[in-house]
Structure 1
Amino acid sequence: MINAVIFDMDGTLFQTNKILELPLEETFSILRARDEWSCKTPTEKYRDIMGVPLSVVWETLMPDHSTEIRRSANEIFLRKLVININLGKGALYPHVKEIFDYLKGKGCSIYIASNGLIEYLNAIVDYYKLDSWVTETFSIQQIETQDKADLVSHILERHHIISAAVIGDRLSDINAAKSNGLKSVGCRFDFAKEDELAQADVIINDLLELKTILKFG
């Protein structure tokens, strides 16, 4: 019996794949113009690691580059992402607002816990008016460890949550639930990997399935 649900953002609520390629291409085009990158844009590599903190993203995509160049790439990418979100080029997954209505109707509090940065998350929440349902949105930036399990722990403490479910598409979401003694629900969406999903308590293919697998009290 739960009284709160903690959602991941990328690949769970927000279809990041719809806006991923353009901001990434724009970022690396700028880097190429500065002679700071000479290869093609590593889109597929980014898709493979989607869901990790952005600091890890740039270490993975640009392992031989300086911290300064990685930081610059991150700033450019974030700026381009926000622009594309505000232009309406992204999308929520089907039934997000419907399941939010359902959860609120059951007296369940809704939270977002993401490895995304605050400015990026706020752009999504503001554009789609998710704060009509979501009690609070949390970024990995808000904790020192960059560990999603610690971020979820922070949410539980801050809002005095006793029992909850964590909904996400990657292993970091599943481990965050397990580390905090919560129910884990894996989403078989765009960036999900079967070996990671196998470790969840339950796997769903559509957010509406939460209506049948979550018990409230």
Structure 2
Amino acid sequence: MINTVIFDMDGVIVNTEPIHELSFKKHFNEIGLNISQEEYDTFRGLSTRNLYQNLKQKYGLKQKVEELVLQKRSIFNKIFQEDKELDLLPGVRNLIESLYKDNFQLILATSSARVTLTKIFDRFGLFPYFKHIVSGEDFPNSKPDPTIFLEAVKLSGQPKENCIVIEDSTQGVIAANRAGIFCIGYRSKASGDQDLSTANKIISDFSILNSDTINTVCLVK
């Protein structure tokens, strides 16, 4: 019986992907990096720290990783505060509220830093619904490393069989696969052309999910 739902954040709960992309590309330009769209799309699901660690190694960046992270975060914060149209993705608030009402345990497992997820959860009043918050900055490796999801399951106090993950990125789906947790892949326009083929179930509309379908239709392989 499924009683715990583990949510990714960017591209699942809120469409901050364009803000992150704009922030990264602005920062890349400032530090003299020419990153193609194809290469950028491979970064989705990585924590900002892991992303810059990879770029530092690949392109020989002279700045310290932490310095690069703080520079990008400053750009993101400015754009985030100025974007008055940012909203939750269609149907996700209803899903969160209905699951919470039906006594499902909700956990956030996101690659985003705590300072970033806090801004988003404060803005949309989401903290009361989630029992645990797991941030990718707490781990040395990003998705597709499964550690973040294994930690979420550990915090839940439930066996894996009682948990599902909702993810929108290739890296996130692979991480859920490696963790051995049933994964619902959310086909989000905000996330680009992500390969969700190894997800156990793929959806493009949150309205088909509720406490009943999660334990029936969505778990039929």
Q: Which TM bucket (shorter chain)?
A: 0.7 to 0.9
Of 114, 117, 122 in structure 1, the residue corresponding to residue 118 of structure 2 is 122
Residue of structure 2 equivalent to 1:55: 49
Q: Deviations over 1:14-48 (max 9, x none)?
A: 212332344234424543xxxxx1x5565663244
Of 88, 105, 118 in structure 2, the residue corresponding to residue 92 of structure 1 is 88
Amino acid at match of 2:174: N
- 8 Å Cα contact 2:45-2:170 kept in structure 1: no
- 8 Å Cα contact 2:50-2:141 kept in structure 1: no
Amino acid at match of 1:207: F
The DSSP-based 3-state class of the residue aligned with 1:197 is: coil
Question: Are residues 29 and 155 of structure 1, via their aligned partners in 2, closer, same or farther at CA, if it must alter by over 3 Å?
Answer: same
Residue of structure 1 equivalent to 2:23: 23
- TM-score calculated relative to the size of structure 2: 0.81
State the Cα distance separating 1:214 from its structure 2 match: 0.2
Residue of structure 2 equivalent to 1:72: 67
Equivalenced residues, count = 209
- 8 Å Cα contact 1:188-1:205 kept in structure 2: yes
Q: Deviations over 1:27-71 (max 9, x none)?
A: 24543xxxxx1x556566324422222234224555223352544
Question: For the residues of structure 2 that align with 1:67 and 1:202, how far apart are their CA atoms?
Answer: 43
Residue of structure 2 equivalent to 1:134: 130
Question: Are residues 24 and 175 of structure 1, via their aligned partners in 2, closer, same or farther at CA, if it must alter by over 3 Å?
Answer: closer
Residue of structure 1 equivalent to 2:97: 101
Q: Deviations over 1:66-111 (max 9, x none)?
A: 3525443321111221233233453321122111111112210111
RMSD over equivalenced CA pairs, Å: 2.6
Question: Are residues 177 and 133 of structure 1, via their aligned partners in 2, closer, same or farther at CA, if it must alter by over 3 Å?
Answer: same
Amino acid at match of 1:13: I
The DSSP-based 3-state class of the residue aligned with 2:52 is: helix
Q: Deviations over 1:124-173 (max 9, x none)?
A: 11111111212222111223444541111112212302211100012332
Percentage of pairs with the same residue: 21
Amino acid at match of 1:156: V
Residue of structure 2 equivalent to 1:179: 178
Q: How does 1:177-216 map to 2 (within 5 A)?
A: 177-189=176-188, 190-191=190-191, 193=193, 196-211=195-210, 213-215=213-215
Q: Which runs of 4+ in 1 moved over 4 A?
A: 39-44, 59-62
The DSSP-based 3-state class of the residue aligned with 1:184 is: strand
Question: For the residues of structure 2 that align with 1:19 and 1:145, how far apart are their CA atoms?
Answer: 23
Question: For the residues of structure 1 that align with 2:102 and 2:66, how far apart are their CA atoms?
Answer: 43
Question: Are residues 200 and 67 of structure 1, via their aligned partners in 2, closer, same or farther at CA, if it must alter by over 3 Å?
Answer: farther
- 8 Å Cα contact 1:153-1:180 kept in structure 2: yes
Q: Deviations over 1:169-216 (max 9, x none)?
A: 12332233333332110011132545x311111000012222264018
The DSSP-based 3-state class of the residue aligned with 2:131 is: strand
- 8 Å Cα contact 1:169-1:192 kept in structure 2: no
- TM-score calculated relative to the size of structure 1: 0.82
Residue of structure 2 equivalent to 1:160: 157
Question: For the residues of structure 1 that align with 2:202 and 2:141, how far apart are their CA atoms?
Answer: 28
Residue of structure 2 equivalent to 1:34: none
